[in-house]
Structure 1
């Protein structure tokens, strides 16, 4: 229980912008692959419209370089024409793992997305939430929110040119 402050009900956790229990540990996923039912709304959205969840993830992982709509539309096109959308989405899991130094567990990214696409997308979405992003807002509004709160997001991984 949290001590009550004036004008706050007793036992309510203060809103700090940091997930309850603190930020995720380095090198670990904040939730398991099969914890998708912890958020039933996200689970239903991802089950029936995975292109929306994927588009939101892609915009944050790409740091605004691609829009939610464009990524989601390409995902939907691949799903409807080939059924191989999992190849596209697994590349974003790999990008996300590299950005946050996450393990490729329980198995490689392609296997996770081929066998458990919906669970993988839910896990990735929840990971972004646990790290302080709100995928519903998109990259630019997340950056405006971070600028207003003084939070800092590290730059995208860079490689040295030759």
Structure 2
């Protein structure tokens, strides 16, 4: 999986789209679709872009809770979560019998 856009760049782009067009929901609905496909979540009761169009705040809160419940801590940032996940990996098990 490719690295996501850096938080500052993504937030800046979101703000720029918000100020210039007011259609920031178009930008954020793509991340909802990406997260849904990554975790095999259903697209219900309606399409991702419709959820973001009707209630952007609710959609972003839902996505935050989903990531938080799956063990991601957004306050740590991308690098912090990567190092945290590496620390949570179980040790490798050796194959074969030894005496």
Give CA deviations for 1:87-141 in whole Å, capped at 9, x if unaligned.
0000110000000001112200111000010000000011000111111211211
* Offset, 1:81: 0.7
TM-score, reference length from structure 2: 0.84
Q: Secondary structure at the match of 2:44?
A: coil
* Offset, 1:63: 6.1
Q: Secondary structure at the match of 2:55?
A: helix
Aligned to 1:136: 75
Give CA deviations for 1:30-57 in whole Å, capped at 9, x if unaligned.
xxxxxxxxxxxxxxxxxxxxxxxxxxxx
Query: Of the two structures, which has the highest relative contact order with CA contacts closer than 8 Å and spacing of 6 or more?
Result: 1
User: Where does the alignment leave 5 or more consecutive residues of structure 2 unmatched?
Assistant: 91-99
Give CA deviations for 1:40-87 in whole Å, capped at 9, x if unaligned.
xxxxxxxxxxxxxxxxxxxxxx76431111001100110011000000
Q: Which runs of 4+ in 1 moved over 3 A?
A: 62-65
TM-score, reference length from structure 1: 0.52
Which structure's CA Rg is the greater one? 2
Q: Distance in 1 between matches of 2:50 and 2:88?
A: 38
Q: Does 1:76 align with 2:15?
A: yes
Aligned length: 90
